[in-house]
Structure 1
Amino acid sequence: MMNKNNNVFLFGAGAMIDWGGPTTQELTERIREEGFKVSNSEQKLTDYIYEQLIKVYDKDDVNFETIINVIEELSVYYSEFKKGKESPSLLRSFINDLEFEKLFDYSIKGGKRKTNYKLQIPKGKDYDSARYAFNNENPKQFYLQHELSCLLTSIVNRISEYAFHYCTFSEIKMDSEISINFKKWISTLEKNNAIRMYSLNYDRIFKVLLNEVSINCFEGFEMNENESYSQEFKCDILRILEDQNSNIFYNLHGSAFWKVDNRNKRINSPEILSANTPQFQGNSNISNIQIERGKPILVSNIITGFQKAQKSMIPPFKQMHFAFDRDCFKTNIIYIIGYSFSDEHINQCIKTALRHRKDLTLEIVDPSFIEKNLDQILNRTIFTYIENCSASPKILGNNKFTYYDNRVIVYTLKFCDYLKMKNNEEEL
């Protein structure tokens, strides 16, 4: 029997702006200044990639995720198809004139590739965050994975600036107007509904705020905030798969508070754990696995770039994504807040639910939805699955629009203003 009392929430980057979360532009500028320098230059490799990209693509199409994707794809390109035999990747079997590696400024410590070698970055200088190549990584691939670790560490550091939280200290604006309004809104909904929250961000602010009003949300890990800084928590995969009615908060793209643990380095079977404090990728051993043969990917606590779909096959990303897919079918409403609809593996869940659930409603909150012509774009993609309805918008009031006979309702408001409106409506 279908449970119609689940409210599903999808939070994108725009939902966190009022709590101090970074914009895409800010992260792009930050990433351009991070990582390793190009050989014989003061320019960062990331900035070089950015400059090459905007020669071909519009600036609006190039951001921090685009830059990271280039590095990830180069990591695959320079990897080996079969580890231990030093056979080139499939791409390098056909393309062998790519000289991008001339930009790489590194050397192998000791001068020779061998089991458990380390890199020096830049050439001839020991690198504080250097890790051992426990899984026979190709040096160029390994260099690029060190670069990725550095960039992911920078992103986590930015998240910790506004989302650090521990039982004795917190950077979260607990008593700000928007925090109070968020707690009030969710508290009202939670009286009659299970709260199923999914975030594409790397913080856990909403989980922490709801703790303040005694609403417990399962995060996928049995957390205890009163434990020590160093305490680590295993993921409850079975509960993620089976639990359909509890209040939950899942980070679909990982969390700054997760950690990649690979204690058995010889087997290379990393496990994602959770902790009470932010975890920096540069402090972890580098682990890569192959979801598809010949295409190694870096296992990290947060996932960005364009390999999200592949990395979402790793536990607990896979199980949380499954839960989101299932929840889209088990609700009458999905609140979509501050999401740009740029992740196709997320869009596919929404599209499929719209196609098969004739009573499903989307409530979208995005101040620039009309300005960016998102309605026209989504009419050609996600909303095509809504049958027998007009795509023309109707204006219901200031900053409120409806499409497809009220199956899609759009508020062109900031999240803070939307929360005020919702709470005011409740009081009337």
Structure 2
Amino acid sequence: MTKKKITIKKKITILTGAGFTSTDSFAGVETASLTDELRTLSIHSITLGGLMPGEYIYRKLCRHYGLEATTPATRTDVVNFETIIHFLEELYAFQSSRHSFDSCDASDRTRNYPFKGIKPAFLELSAVVEADFKRASEDFNSESIIYPLVSMIYRYFIHHITHKLEAFNSNERNAGMELFSNDFLSIRLQESDYTRRIYTLNYDNWLVRYRSFFDGFDEDGRLIGSKIFSDTNCDCHYNLHGCIYWDTFIDPDRVRKEAKVANYAGQVQSSDNGLNREPLIPTPIISGYNKMQRMKYSPFLHFYYAFQKDIIESDLILTIGYGFGDTHVNNLLSLSTKTIVACNHFVAQPKDGKPPIKPFTEDIYQCRHELTNIFEAEFPDDYYFLKKDWGESKDGRVRLWWKGIGQEFYDNWDEISI
């Protein structure tokens, strides 16, 4: 009797970030374009200092960080749509806490001290913008209380982001996504050989349109927390920072995945408190830089736990378009003792039809610096990278492909991943 051969699958954990869709074959939404759209977004004709709310906040942030705000070339790694969102979160937390503090009896003020956890830099900026927000509040609803206006602007910004991404998520003729699914996942990472654990820091759920990977929810949109915790050998696609289709009220029993994006701008919900007892505005996505404040809620915590377990157990880690800017994610990545492949898009664009003076943008040096810090990797000089279109650390454990995801990456996958 012939014994049936048992194939032991390898486990690969794939993490995608904002740069996943940066190459030409993807119909993606880039950080710079989303930032520009928030700057010009009209919200009930509200102006701050004579400017649209997004433009006003953008300029104040640029000035605060010593950047020039009048040109589109301002560094989006310092001020972008997430910075704008984060500032509104901090301003809301500070102003709503202060309002509660001012309204309570003197005997209650010690225990209701509102300033814990508020970052000094944003406290300073809060004082700068307070007068303009107060005037806008009075013009809009004849009240001088600031935080309801901040909440409304915040909701409109989140609403715009989710609906902007919905159009991209609904595009089933996305050449880059189809190639990633049909060529890379089906051929290079076959189901018979790999358990494919995919996590994304983006807010879409495009993969369910091409593959039946488990996303944490059943057909009725209910979260299946027990499966997320217990089944770490299924093919999955989890949103670490939320999804445009989630309808969440910061209540584990009421998180659902819907078929359509909700009208978030029209929702009116009371805030909840974060890790430092700071008020948080409910949202289906974690944007801004206050991500850890929201990570304690379901389903974020479910996916974060699964991600940690997969990092430890995986035979191979692949990051695509992730800039290594989230400390909580980097801390988990550092737990891996196996091969790390980072795929990013660092090719310098030609100017006036001429080849670029440098083959890379400055971002590649920052990325290599982050990889060195996280994985204690030492990289050779630039010439080594130019010979192969990718480079690896001297110990061979960390590999960096710098031309972005696409056919060239897939063609070289066998060599890169060895």
TM-score range, shorter chain: 0.7 to 0.9
* 1:351 aligned residue (315, 323, 334): 334
In the TM superposition, residue 73 of structure 1 has moved relative to its aligned partner by: 0.8
Choose the corresponding residue for 1:316, options 299, 303, 323. 299
Aligned equivalents of 1:261, 1:385: Cα separation in 2: 34
1:122 equivalent to 2:140? Answer yes
> Of 21, 34, 39, which aligns to 2:41?
34
Whether contact under 8 Å (2:18, 2:201) holds in the other structure is yes
Aligned residues: 367
Contact 1:13 1:201 in 2 (8 A): yes
Aligned to 2:356: none
Q: 1:397 to 1:374 in 2, by over 3 A?
A: same
| Residue identity in the other structure for 2:30 | T
Superposition map of 1:273-288 within 5 A? 273-288=256-271
Equivalents in 2 of 1:31, 1:390: separation in Å? 39
Contact residue 48 and residue 56 of structure 2 kept, 8 A:
no
Match of 2:355 in 1: none
TM-aligned CA deviation for residue 269 of structure 1: 7.4
Give 2:341's match in structure 1, choosing from 359, 363, 366. Answer: 363
Q: Tell me the distance in 1 between the aligned counterparts of 2:413 and 2:335.
A: 31
Shift in alpha-carbon separation, 1:56–1:124, aligned structure 2, 3 A: closer
What is aligned with 1:414?
Answer: 404
The answer for the alignment partner of 1:173 in structure 2 is: 173
Which of 140, 144, 157 is the equivalent residue of 2:150?
A: 144
Task: State the alpha-carbon separation in 1 of the partners of residues 55 and 193 from structure 2.
Answer: 50
Show the counterpart of 2:320: 337
Classify the secondary structure of the residue corresponding to 1:352: coil
What is the identity, as a one-letter code, of the residue corresponding to 1:218? F
The residue identity in structure 1 corresponding to 2:327 is: E
CA distance in 1, matches of 2:9, 2:414: 25
**1:300-334 CA distance string (max 9 Å, x none):** 11111110111112110111111111111111211
Deviation of 1:155 (Å): 0.4
2:167 to 161, 169, 173: 161
Which amino acid counterpart does residue 115 of structure 2 have in structure 1? L
Question: Among residues 258, 281, 290, which one is paired with 2:273 in the alignment?
Answer: 290
What amino acid does structure 2 have at the position aligned with 1:154?
A: H
The answer on whether the counterparts of 1:19 and 1:172 sit within 8 Å (CA) in structure 2 is no
Q: Which residue of 1 aligns with 2:214?
A: 218
Q: Which aligned pairs between 1:22-421 and structure 2 lie closer than 5 A? A: 22-34=29-41, 36=43, 42-57=50-65, 58=67, 59-60=74-75, 61-80=78-97, 85=104, 89-90=114-115, 98=127, 100-104=129-133, 105-106=136-137, 122-123=140-141, 139-164=145-170, 171-173=171-173, 176=175, 179-188=178-187, 189=189, 190-210=191-211, 216-223=212-219, 233-261=221-249, 271-353=254-336, 357=337, 360-368=338-346, 371-374=360-363, 376-378=365-367, 380-384=369-373, 386=375, 390-392=378-380, 394-395=384-385, 397-421=387-411
Displacement, 1:35?
5.3
Distance 2:316 2:394 in 1: 15
* In 1, Cα distance between equivalents of 2:362 and 2:128: 40
Deviation at 1:348, TM superposition (A): 1.2
- Give the Å deviation of 1:295: 0.6
**SS state of the match for residue 279, structure 2?**
strand
**Alpha-carbon distance in 2 for matches of 1:74, 1:421:** 48
**Equivalent pairs: percent with the same residue?**
21
Deviation at 1:296, TM superposition (A): 0.9
- The one-letter code sitting in structure 2 at the alignment partner of 1:246 is C
Tell me if the contact between 2:331 and 2:374 (Cα under 8 Å) persists in the aligned partners: no
Cα 1:177/1:325, change in 2 over 3 Å: closer
Deviation at 1:383, TM superposition (A): 2.7
Q: 1:420/1:286 Cα in 2 relative to 1: closer, same or farther (>3 Å)?
A: same
Give 3-state SS (helix, strand or coil) of 2:346's partner.
Answer: coil
- Residue 383 of structure 1 aligns to which amino acid in structure 2? T
Spell out, residue by residue over 1:374-404, the C-alpha distance to the aligned partner (whole angstroms, 9 max, x if none): 55445554434546x6432544843121113
User: Contact 1:261 / 1:270 at 8 angstroms: preserved in 2?
Assistant: no
* 1:42 shift after superposition: 4.5
Stretches of structure 2 that go unaligned for 5 or more consecutive residues are: 1-7, 68-73, 348-358
Question: 1:350 and 1:75, CA in 2 relative to 1: closer, same or farther beyond 3 A?
Answer: same
As a proportion of its length, which structure holds more helix?
2
- Counterpart secondary structure, 2:403: coil
Whose strand proportion is higher, 1 or 2? 1
Any unmatched runs of 5+ in structure 1?
A: 108-120, 126-137, 165-170, 211-215, 224-231, 263-267
CA deviation string 1:169-198 (max 9, x = no partner): xx3216x36514532210231221111000
1:269–1:248 distance in 2 versus 1, CA, 3 Å: closer
The Cα of 1:149 is off from its aligned counterpart by: 0.7
Cα deviation digits, residues 17-68 of structure 1 (max 9, x gap) = 4332211110110111125455575411221121122224233111111111
Structure 1 window deviating more from structure 2 (36-45 vs 237-246): it is: 36-45
Cα deviations by residue, 1:84-143 (Å, 9 ceiling, x for unpaired): 838672269x98992633323235xxxxxxxxxxxxx82369xxxxxxxxxxxx952232
